[in-house]
Homo-oligomer: A and B are copies of this chain.
Amino acid sequence: MTTIKDSVHDYIELEPTAEALLDTAPMQRLRYVRQLSTVQFVYPSANHTRFEHSLGVYHLADEAVERLPIDDELARRLRAAALVHDVGHGPFGHQTEAAIERHLGRHHDEIGWLLEETDLGAVLEDHGLDPEAVAATVDGRGPLGELVAGSLDVDRMDYLVRDAHHTGVPYGTIDHARLLYSLEIVDGELALEAGNVATAESALIARTLMNATVYRHHVSRIAGSMLDRASERLLADGVVDPERFARLTDAELLATLTEYERTAELATRIRERTLYKRALWVRREDVPTRFRGLDYDRTRTLEREIAELADVSPETVILDSPGDPSAPESRARVVVDGELQRLEDRSSLVAGLDACAREIWRLGVYAPEDVLEPVREAAATVLEVDG
């Protein structure tokens, strides 16, 4: 059996199916997609990739299925799904997700097309696995799909610990070994054994704190918004076909953006980290309800309004008003006093963490440093907030 050394889980043993899957081009491509995309502009050590994360998720799935009373076929499907679960990510992962959805109507968890178009599907079949069933598992559907994508999935167990290791921020160091040990199947679904409310809470807490300090850091959000706008321009102008776009690596996207005249400046700014700055950064309670969680068209309209009022070019204004954060972990099932319950129905912390998530929510308006003042004033007027 082949073994690979990993910085987080030490040795990872690979079964032959995993080895064959790793040798495909779509999996090798993940070596060139950073797990935390633009976070490296804040935490310079955050250069780990979706490739090593995929190995980690595979490893945790392997440890979980060894302990669960399931048959070999399901075990093999879950392991395979864990390994390929991120194969549908575009360049810079979540940062181009919205652009890809707008142009292809497809989420990164839908990987059916990839199984068909690349040799991934054939490799799965060669090893006796049904590609469709694997694709469904990646999407969290089918038997124990929640182990790969759900409230107790191994994806999160790996990324929290891995992101902590590579950023140096300690909040992600959850007790993933205990989470794995405590998994059991109740009525066909995953649950945590009795005595694990605090274990389940700790994963939720870890993600909330990692959101606050890492995932939602304003520098990463600004770089991400700039990438989104540049990507949209590339796709809207037909410079790159959306299907090809979805398969670029981080560097290939940056290179493509640099070569195209209308996106060259944004690309250079991202690459050399001369990013836009915050013209506005407003707490939730200070933002009128109708300006929270804006859809794309409305966002672009407001950006143009702000630019016009500020008398600056429309490309120089970026509005970023995200939706409310979700917390799938809070729906994890735990056994308490012999009964199966949702964590959110049991834990006194869940409500506090929800409030905490709303607390760190911010609406941002970003612009180049030299037009920051006019953009601030115009944006405050348009969005009806204090400048």
A residues contacting the other copy or chain, number (CB 8 A): 67
List, in ascending order, chain B residues with CB within 8 A of A355's CB.
348-349, 352
Q: Are A359 and B353 in contact (CB under 8 A)?
A: no
List, in ascending order, chain B residues with CB within 8 A of A47's CB.
34, 47-49, 52
Q: Which of A172-180, A232-240, A291-299, A377-385 binds B?
A: A172-180
Complex Cα distance, B55 from A237, in Å, reads 39
Q: Are A7 and B209 in contact (CB under 8 A)?
A: no
Q: Which of A102-110, A162-170, A303-311, A313-321 binds B?
A: A162-170
Q: Which of A122-130, A145-153, A197-205 binds B?
A: A197-205
Q: Is A301 an interface residue (CB 8 A)?
A: no
List, in ascending order, chain B residues with CB within 8 A of A3's CB.
181
Q: Are A11 and B201 in contact (CB under 8 A)?
A: no
List, in ascending order, chain B residues with CB within 8 A of A92's CB.
none
Q: Which of A23-31, A75-83, A93-101, A366-374 binds B?
A: A23-31
Q: Are A7 and B165 in contact (CB under 8 A)?
A: yes
Q: Is A4 an interface residue (CB 8 A)?
A: yes
Q: Is A328 an interface residue (CB 8 A)?
A: no
For the complex formed, measure the closest distance between the CB of A295 and the CB atoms of chain B, giving whole angstroms: 27
Give a binary string over A45-69; 1 marks a CB under 8 Å from any B CB, 0 the rest.
Answer: 1011101100100000000000000
Q: Are A10 and B347 in contact (CB under 8 A)?
A: no
Question: What is the interface of chain A mostly: helix, strand, loop, or mixed?
Answer: helix
Q: Is A186 an interface residue (CB 8 A)?
A: no
Q: Is A358 an interface residue (CB 8 A)?
A: yes
Q: Is A244 an interface residue (CB 8 A)?
A: no
Complex Cα distance, B29 from A254, in Å, reads 13
Q: Which of A169, A181, A205, A252 has the most chain B CB atoms closer than 10 A to its own CB?
A: A205
Q: Are A8 and B349 in contact (CB under 8 A)?
A: no
Q: Are A44 and B40 in contact (CB under 8 A)?
A: no
Q: Is A273 an interface residue (CB 8 A)?
A: yes
Complex Cα distance, B13 from A177, in Å, reads 12
For the complex formed, measure the closest distance between the CB of A176 and the CB atoms of chain B, giving whole angstroms: 9
For the complex formed, measure the closest distance between the CB of A168 and the CB atoms of chain B, giving whole angstroms: 4
Q: Are B169 and A174 in contact (CB under 8 A)?
A: no
Q: Can you name 11 A-B pairs with beta carbons within 8 Å?
A: A5-B168, A7-B165, A7-B166, A25-B272, A44-B55, A166-B166, A170-B175, A251-B251, A348-B358, A349-B353, A349-B356
